[in-house]
Amino acid sequence: MPFHLHFGAEDLLRCRFAISPLWEAHEAVRTLARPERHAYHLPWLRHSRGALEGLDLGPLLLLMPLRGYTPDFLGRPPTGTASTFEEELAAVRATDAQQARRDIARSLADTPGATTSATGRALLEDPARAVRELADLTEQVWQLLVAPQWPRLRTLLEADVAFHARRLADGGLEGLFGGLHPRLSWREGTLTLHRDGEHERELGGQGLVLMPSAFAWPEVIGGFDPPWQPTVVYPARGIGGLWNTEGPHTPQALARLLGRARAEVLLALDEPASTTTLARRLRLAPSSVSAHLSALRGAGLLVSGRYGHQVLYERTPLGLALATGEGTG
């Protein structure tokens, strides 16, 4: 049964994108525990198992039911695309104990036996302590699993936002929602998430937060009860190549035309990317990549734009034709 989000006129003006490093830390924990998410993240998983040795993720996992409610205070909607992990974690630490207890009790009720388990009882008996320990555990997850990869992850998420912002400009909300996830549909002012359960929510002028995630695949997640702004979390584009360290195969004709290094830079831009990301991917010095990007942009093959913290480059139609067209091999 579906989850319906009903838009009014003001809501249409208050849809925004956001990126949450805190959310990615929690989704990383879910990914560790859910084999159906492993396919795209095997290199990361191999590293993560060793990094987490001796760390008990049980309290966090107990509040992440497969189908059910995860406490909103653990990851409230971010304010934009530039929120830092430290800012978001500070908001978690500031959670009122009574609110935390209500959220924890609701979450535990969705897992049989969780309320009466030793961990569940401890969380409920001292919610202020639970907030501190859950925040500390989240910080450890961030430092061990996500922070070392955050430049790579942030680039992916910012590229996704840039892509879908263009879809919104070209096709409006119908075009945007139609391309986010197969389980999302838009009709007559209502966004429907096709999933188990039945839920209706009038956005009431709050609008909607759209948040890409590197770890949410294959799920799309709708959440946050009042007073939080409604949010839809969807899998970011390009996760198939997220952990890829190999450079692209460069056709000889394209290498002769542009020079091998510049051809490799052009081919590596399947998704918008920053100078740093391309340098890491191609194993080149950032200064060399920057020079190649400037030359390709000057030739009309690339454009650039600032998204959040970074300048991202992407192919123009001419650059796309050279990179993918017949006759280059």
Q: Is residue 91 part of a domain?
A: yes
Is the pLDDT score of 184 beyond 70?
yes
Q: Is residue 256 part of a domain?
A: yes
Q: What CATH number did the domain enclosing 284 receive?
A: 1.10.10.10
Whether residue 255 sits in one domain with residue 230? no
Of the pLDDT bands very low, low, confident and very high (cuts 50, 70, 90), residue 327 is very low
Number of domains in the chain: 2
Whether residue 267 sits in one domain with residue 156? no
Q: Average pLDDT in the 172-188 region?
A: 86
Whether residue 129 sits in one domain with residue 78? yes
What confidence tens digit (pLDDT) does each residue in 255-282 have? Answer: 888 888 899 999 888 778 889 888 888 8
Decide which of 179, 212, 239 is a domain's last residue.
239
pLDDT at residue 247, rounded to an integer: 52
pLDDT at residue 310, rounded to an integer: 74
pLDDT at residue 131, rounded to an integer: 97
What is the SS3 assignment for 300?
Answer: coil
Residue 85's domain comprises 2-239
Whether residue 233 sits in one domain with residue 176? yes
pLDDT at residue 326, rounded to an integer: 41
Whether residue 211 sits in one domain with residue 78? yes
Q: How is the beta sheet containing 231-235 ordered, strand by strand? A: 15-17, 208-213, 231-235, 221-223
pLDDT at residue 283, rounded to an integer: 85
pLDDT at residue 126, rounded to an integer: 97
Pairing outcome for strands 221-223 and 2-6:
unpaired
pLDDT at residue 70, rounded to an integer: 93
Q: Average pLDDT in the 126-152 region?
A: 95
Is the pLDDT score of 139 beyond 70?
yes
DSSP string, 233-255: EEEPTTGGGTT--PPPP--HHHH
Is the pLDDT score of 253 beyond 90?
no
Is the pLDDT score of 77 beyond 50?
yes
Decide which of 124 and 225 is more confident. Answer: 124
Q: Average pLDDT in the 179-194 region?
A: 88
For a pLDDT cut of 90, what percent of the chain falls above it?
44
Q: Average pLDDT in the 42-63 region?
A: 88
Of the pLDDT bands very low, low, confident and very high (cuts 50, 70, 90), residue 50 is confident
pLDDT at residue 216, rounded to an integer: 92
For a pLDDT cut of 70, what percent of the chain falls above it?
95
Decide which of 200, 224, 239 is a domain's last residue.
239
What confidence tens digit (pLDDT) does each residue in 202-231 have? Answer: 888 989 999 999 999 888 888 777 788 889
Q: Is residue 125 part of a domain?
A: yes
Of the pLDDT bands very low, low, confident and very high (cuts 50, 70, 90), residue 328 is very low
Whether residue 163 sits in one domain with residue 108? yes
Whether residue 255 sits in one domain with residue 219? no
Q: Is residue 329 part of a domain?
A: no
Whether residue 275 sits in one domain with residue 170? no
Decide which of 177, 211, 239 is a domain's last residue.
239
Of the pLDDT bands very low, low, confident and very high (cuts 50, 70, 90), residue 167 is confident
Q: Is residue 302 part of a domain?
A: yes
Is the pLDDT score of 111 beyond 80?
yes
Is the pLDDT score of 307 beyond 90?
no
Q: Is residue 181 part of a domain?
A: yes
Whether residue 124 sits in one domain with residue 9? yes
Whether residue 72 sits in one domain with residue 38? yes
Whether residue 160 sits in one domain with residue 28? yes
Is the pLDDT score of 99 beyond 70?
yes
Of the pLDDT bands very low, low, confident and very high (cuts 50, 70, 90), residue 201 is confident
70: nearest Cα among 35, 29, 39, 41? 29
Q: In the chain, which ranges are continuous DSSP H helix?
A: 9-12, 21-33, 42-51, 58-62, 85-93, 97-108, 118-125, 127-141, 150-178, 252-258, 260-267, 275-282, 286-298, 317-324
Q: Is residue 304 part of a domain?
A: yes
CB 1 within 8 A of CB 198: yes
Whether residue 320 sits in one domain with residue 209? no
Q: Average pLDDT in the 178-205 region?
A: 85
Is the pLDDT score of 251 beyond 90?
no
**Would you state the structure tokens that stand for residue 210, as one six-digit string?**
């759209």
pLDDT at residue 1, rounded to an integer: 57
Regarding pTM above 0.85, the answer is no
Is the pLDDT score of 325 beyond 70?
no
Q: Is residue 54 part of a domain?
A: yes
pLDDT at residue 249, rounded to an integer: 64
DSSP string, 79-134: SSS---HHHHHHHHHT--HHHHHHHHHHHHTTSTTTTTSHHHHHHHH-HHHHHHHH
Residues in the chain, how many?
329
Is the pLDDT score of 44 beyond 70?
yes
